[in-house]
Every structure is written in structure tokens, then in C-alpha cells.
A and B are shown apart, each in its own frame.
Chain A
Amino acid sequence: MKKQFKEQSETGSDRSCVMEGYNFAYLDEQTKRMIRRTILKAVAIPGYQVPFGSREMPLPYGWGTGGIQVTASLIGPEDTLKVIDQGADDTTNAVSIRRFFSRTAGVHTTTRTREATIIQTRHRIPETHLRNGQIIVYQVPIPEPLRFIEPRAKEVRRMHALKEYGIMFVKLYEDISRHGRIAKAFDYPVLVNGRYVMSPSPIPKFDNPKMDCMPALQIFGAGREKRIYAVPPYTRVKSLDFEDYPFEVERWSKSCALCGSEHSYLDEIITDDQGSRMYVCSDTDYCSLRLAERDRDFQPGFKDEIRASGAIGERKCT
């Protein structure tokens, strides 16, 4: 049964067509070492944006060059890589980045969250709980959480150094007085380890609670802006809020039209020009696992296997 299940998952490795003339995973070893040193510093100072000598990559800036460089310097031949964009493995940019690594490194790739050792993501955190030992690499367009309040890099650097986050709280307060709520739906700022205010990258705020005390290592790469930052496993990540206006996440009155999940982030799909719409899980792997579970409910033993994978169930933070 297990074998059959494996075949269903889209696991692949492409060692036969690894590109010639380039180093393993594209970057040269010295660059990888430089990036690893940056990552070590980032892990040592959770939430602090460490400048690094970001290289020009063969993919455009703003399309994940930071995440790609982080992944390229971490990945080894034994790793299994999953790449998602908007929660899905089959969105064009995720496909392109996955292909980049199968061409330059020939590593195993997978769509299964639990099979991956490295997960590179844009805009989502998988619904499946990540475990210790896994690394999630976020692609970050604007690493500076204060950028749209104060665009001057010199100014915000000083603010971070002094832990002077008044302007951020004033901004949130102004939102409440003007709109009755904090009008930020994604890239919702967080405080890491009680010290640095950090951009979680443009994930919906729905995903923010998953960052708190996550067992996996979280690394954020911003290639164009030349910054890397990180959240080590089991670190406190608190979404900014006020006592009388606590942080809340989006909720849907609907459930997923495919798998029926009531706990996942839902994409709205417009199905005709009459305004009909349906809601489906944005995390395609999570959705397909649940579907597999439903379809094979009658086959003994299978359900337990999925449960054991940690794909389903309440997450616990200690």
C-alpha cells in the first residue's frame, strides 16, 4: 500500500539531465560559504536582517533570487526539495525554480511536504505542520517591515538598532482609528524573540501563527535587497497587536469544495461570468492528501499512515 501511495506523489529526480559547465546548485563554493556564514549570523540573531553579497542569478530579481541563493547554498545531493508558490507546487514560478534545481543540482524533488528536507516557498506556509530538521526558505521581496512607513534605509537601521518601533505601532493605531481594524491582510509584521520587528514575507496573516515556535528552521532570503534573516526552531514569533485589538486571522464561512477542509487557507475561484465562485485549498499537497484519505477510507491501514505523517490534526506549540 505504501508503495502505491508513493507512486501517486509527484516525486522525481532528474540526474540524467544535470547541466554541464556549472557548479552543483549553480553557485560556486565560495559564494555558498559566504551565504552560509550569513545564515549562521542570521540564526544567531533571530529576526535581524543580515546584509550579504547577493549574486546575480539567472532568474529575475523579485522572482525568488534570495530564496534560490539560500536553497542553493544549503542543498546537498541527499536533500529532497519542495517548491511552492501561493501554496501550490504547480504554479509556473514554483515549477521554474524546481526545474532550476533539478537541472543544476539533480536533487530529488517532491510535492509532499513531509518528504521534503528543504521547502522553498513564496507567499504561503504549508498547512501540514513542519517538523524539526526541515528547513523552510521564504522568498522575500521587501525584507524591511518599516519600509512603507519610512523608506530611508539609514533611518530604519537606526530604529532597529534602538528597538525603536514607535512608528510601527502608530501606524497600526492609525489603522484602527481610521478603519476600525489593522488594515493589513498579508506581510503582517511580527516581533521575533521579543527583539526585532520582522517582515514574515507576503504570506497571508492566516499563516502568521504557524511561525510561532515552529519546529523547523525558517530562513528568509531577499536577493534584490541583499538581506538574509532567520527564525531558529522553537522561537517566539508574535504578530503585532494591541490588548484591546488582538491579532486575528481570516476565516471563511465556506469549506474547501474538493477536500472539505474547514481549517485551511482557501482560494476563491471564479467559475463563470455570473459571479459563481467556489473555494478550494491553496495548499495543493494538503488538499490532495485529504482527498486521498477520503477516497481510500475503506482501505484498512491507509488512513493511519496519513495521520502519522502529521498532515492532519491540531498543531501543538510548547
Chain B
Amino acid sequence: MYVAVKGGEQAIANAHKLLSEKRRGDQAVPELEISQIKEQLGLSVDRVMTEGSLYDRGLAAIAIKQAQGDLVEAIFLLRAYRTTLPRFGFSEPIETSRMEIQRRISSSFKDIPGGQVLGPTYDYTHRLIDFGLETPENGNPEICRAEVAAEAIQNAMPRVADLLLAEGLIEDEAVEGERRPVADLTRDPLELPAERDVRLQNLARGDEGFILSLAYSLLRGFGASGHPFLGEIRFGEVTVELVPEELGFPIEVGEISVTECIMFNRFIGSATTSPKFVRGYGLAYGHCERKAMAMAIIDYALRSRELGEKSEYPAQDEEFVLFHSDNVQASGFVEHLKLPHYVDFQADLVLMRNQQAEFNNGNKGDREIENEEAI
């Protein structure tokens, strides 16, 4: 005899207990410390902070630990915490030309003022598993210490785009006199058509995999933009300034590390504007080059409307891109299929049985109609 299933609450509690046990893993292995994640899984932390829209290395590291390294889950945890935080002000725009550079390259010029600074990068590494990492190197700190250059990297490096701007070869993005508040997707719903600030915010929060693949589709020809050039990518620390109402002048409130990418795209011009290069822009917290580059490529593709270009492919379609980029939304909705749906399925079952019964009764009239349609 069937008895209505009860005890969901107990089952959930038990499932969560089991989860904690799984998260901890073998008790004989020392537990991960937050500082270890912060220090040794830094790129995971950076991604979680970027897509979680919250710059807090410690919290991101806890989220990664709590999510057993599932970064989308960690992003979700960080986002859910972020909503509860009060908002006490807005910072001044960060000035990336005054960045304390760790890495900065341009592939559009052989050399640039300030020089090409490779910094910490996986580029040019041979992707061979380093079996030496299997055993901790704690006994020999010399192995993982880089040499320090005799000369310090010059700060206040001009952005490559600014050099072209002087020649008038690139569009001037400076907004004169206008200082409207920047849109905030975390407070207001996404409305279309979206302005560039909204699109950039959406892309910055967007899933790295989704953004990356869309950018890839553009490069492969699913988008008319052609081949963009990496004007510059830079990574380093910038100061964040805030103007407290009671002071009226900016004060430094902290330092964050960001990756900034500017892509150059050839714009053939229109009846009213001369041909020139147009920028695609990407910005991410921490060191997220793949994300920042992909973002910059899509930023340009989504400008097709304002630039009067045709938009015929998915990555140029702002509605398609902006509504599907968020992995917290996407994973939630895809995984909601795990929730019980038996009431709706029952309704479909009833419908399906009726339809099958009619089909099996050999509804001759219907078939004649189908034949007519075939002709």
C-alpha cells in the first residue's frame, strides 16, 4: 500500500550532512586552509570574484572551499552574500593608466612606451604535467622564487589606445561633460535596448565559458567583425578612491588588482563618420586574461547597432547574449529540472493518452488532411 512520502525535511538535513562529509574528504588528509586557497588557487579566486561581482579574496576563497572547488557554485555563494551588503557609496572611476603594472603586452606594436612586460603568464609554457609538483616544495623555497629585475617597472604607463587617439586613428570615447550615473544590473532589471555600460557590466559578470565561446564564434566567422587586434592587455593593482559626502574630495579606500583589455577593430566608416579603429573593452577582477579578451571581442560585436553594422549572428545579438550570459541564472534554471514536475507531467500524460487513443482509432479524416498538406 502506498503511503504518501513524508520526511522531506529530515532527508534534506541528512543529505546536507553527507555533503559536509564529502566536502571534508578523507579525515587523514589535512583540511584545506583558506589562506592556501587564496595563495595557491589565486586564479580560481579571481574568477569567482569577477563573476561574483565582489572583490573580496577571503570570501571568494571560503566560497571555493564551501563549494568543493565548483566555481559556478562558489560564484553563486558570493553573489547571494553580496546582495545582503549595504551600499554606502560609489567609487571614482579607477584610473588604469596609473596601474601598478605586473604584466602588460600589446600585440599591435613591436614595442611600446613602457615596454612589453610579460609578468606571470602561462603563455609560452609547455603544457607538460610537472611531476615535481607532486611533492611539496616547502623544503626548498629557492625553486619557486623569481629573480628581481635591477630596474623597477615604470608606473603610469600610457595606454596604447591613448597613443593612437592623439593621431585621430581611434574613436574618442571620452564623454564630455556628461556624468550620468552608471547603470547597475544588480539593482535594476535588464531593459533592452541596453546601453554600453549595462552590456559591459553584464559581460563582466557573465560566465567565462559562455563569453569565451561566443567570442570564438565571432573569430570563426559567425559575425562580420573580422579579425580584431589586441591593442593592449594589462594586469596589476589600481587604487580605489571614494569621495565621502562630508569631505568632498577623493580619498584612497584600497587597492584592487584588475585585468584590462582593449581590442582594436577596423571600422569601415559610414556616411557621417570617417573610417577608424573602434575599441572593444574588457575588464575583470584579478588576473583573468581569457575572460577580459573575450569580453572585449563581444563588446565590439554588440556595438553593431550603434555603428550601423549588420547584426545577423548570435554573438552580435544583444538580447541573445545578455539574457543568457549569467551562469548563476543559467545553472539555476537548467538545474531546476531536478525539482519535482509530476503535476505538470501528469497533465501531459493525460493529454498524450488522449492523443494516442485518437491516433490508434485511425482517424481517417486527419490523415487525408495530412496528405493534402504533403501535396
Which residue numbers of A lie inside 8 Å of B, CB to CB?
Answer: 22-23, 26, 28, 51-58, 60-63, 65, 85-88, 90-96, 99, 122-124, 141, 152-154, 177, 179-181, 183, 185-187, 202-206, 224, 226-227, 250, 252, 257-258, 265-269, 271, 278, 280, 282, 284, 287
Q: Is the interface of A mostly helix, strand, loop or mixed?
A: loop
Q: Are A22 and B84 in contact, with the CB atoms below 8 A?
A: yes
6 closest cross-chain pairs (CB), A and B: A61-B332, A62-B336, A60-B332, A185-B347, A62-B333, A226-B189
> Knowing that A52-B189, A185-B347 are A-B contacts, what are 11 other residue pairs whose CB atoms are under 8 Å apart, sorted by A's residue number?
A60-B336, A61-B329, A86-B343, A88-B4, A92-B12, A122-B339, A123-B343, A123-B344, A180-B358, A206-B347, A267-B342
* Interface residues as binary, B69-102 with A (CB distance below 8 Å gives 1, 0 otherwise): 0000000100110111010000000000000000
Which residue numbers of B lie inside 8 Å of A, CB to CB?
Answer: 2, 4-9, 11-12, 76, 79-80, 82-84, 86, 186-193, 319, 323, 328-329, 331-336, 339-344, 346-351, 354-355, 358, 363, 366, 369
Q: Are A90 and B6 in contact, with the CB atoms below 8 A?
A: yes
**With A91-B8, A96-B12, A269-B2 as given contacts, are A153 and B192 in contact (CB-CB < 8 Å)?**
yes
Question: How far does the alpha carbon of A280 sit from the alpha carbon of B3 in the complex, in Å?
Answer: 10
Residue from the set B80, B193, B346 with the largest chain A CB neighbour count within 10 Å: B346
Q: Chain A residues with Cβ under 8 A from B76's Cβ?
A: 60
16 residue pairs A–B, Cβ–Cβ below 8 Å: A53-B187, A56-B80, A56-B328, A86-B341, A87-B343, A88-B4, A90-B8, A92-B12, A95-B8, A99-B12, A153-B192, A183-B351, A187-B344, A202-B344, A267-B346, A280-B4
Q: Are B349 and A123 in contact, with the CB atoms below 8 A?
A: no
**With A28-B86, A91-B8, A95-B12 as given contacts, are A282 and B343 in contact (CB-CB < 8 Å)?**
yes
Question: How far does the alpha carbon of A230 sit from the alpha carbon of B344 in the complex, in Å?
Answer: 22
Q: Are B86 and A86 in contact, with the CB atoms below 8 A?
A: no
Question: How far does the alpha carbon of A257 sit from the alpha carbon of B3 in the complex, in Å?
Answer: 10
Q: Chain B residues with Cβ under 8 A from A183's Cβ?
A: 351, 355
Question: How far does the alpha carbon of A63 sit from the alpha carbon of B341 in the complex, in Å?
Answer: 12
Question: How far does the alpha carbon of A187 sit from the alpha carbon of B344 in the complex, in Å?
Answer: 9
Q: Are A92 and B344 in contact, with the CB atoms below 8 A?
A: no
Q: Are B2 and A280 in contact, with the CB atoms below 8 A?
A: yes
Residue from the set A183, A185, A203, A284 with the largest chain B CB neighbour count within 10 Å: A185
Q: Are A56 and B82 in contact, with the CB atoms below 8 A?
A: yes
Question: How far does the alpha carbon of A52 sit from the alpha carbon of B189 in the complex, in Å?
Answer: 6
Closest to A185 in B: B347
Q: Are A250 and B347 in contact, with the CB atoms below 8 A?
A: yes
Q: Are B350 and A250 in contact, with the CB atoms below 8 A?
A: yes
Instruction: Report the minimum CB–CB distance from A146 to chain B (whole Å).
Output: 15
Question: How far does the alpha carbon of A22 sit from the alpha carbon of B83 in the complex, in Å?
Answer: 11
Q: Chain A residues with Cβ under 8 A from B12's Cβ?
A: 92, 95-96, 99
Q: Are B2 and A278 in contact, with the CB atoms below 8 A?
A: yes
Closest to B370 in A: A178
Instruction: Report the minimum CB–CB distance from A125 to chain B (whole Å).
Output: 11
Q: Chain A residues with Cβ under 8 A from B11's Cβ?
A: 92
Q: Chain B residues with Cβ under 8 A from A54's Cβ?
A: 189
Question: How far does the alpha carbon of A95 sit from the alpha carbon of B351 in the complex, in Å?
Answer: 30
Instruction: Report the minimum CB–CB distance from A187 to chain B (whole Å).
Output: 8
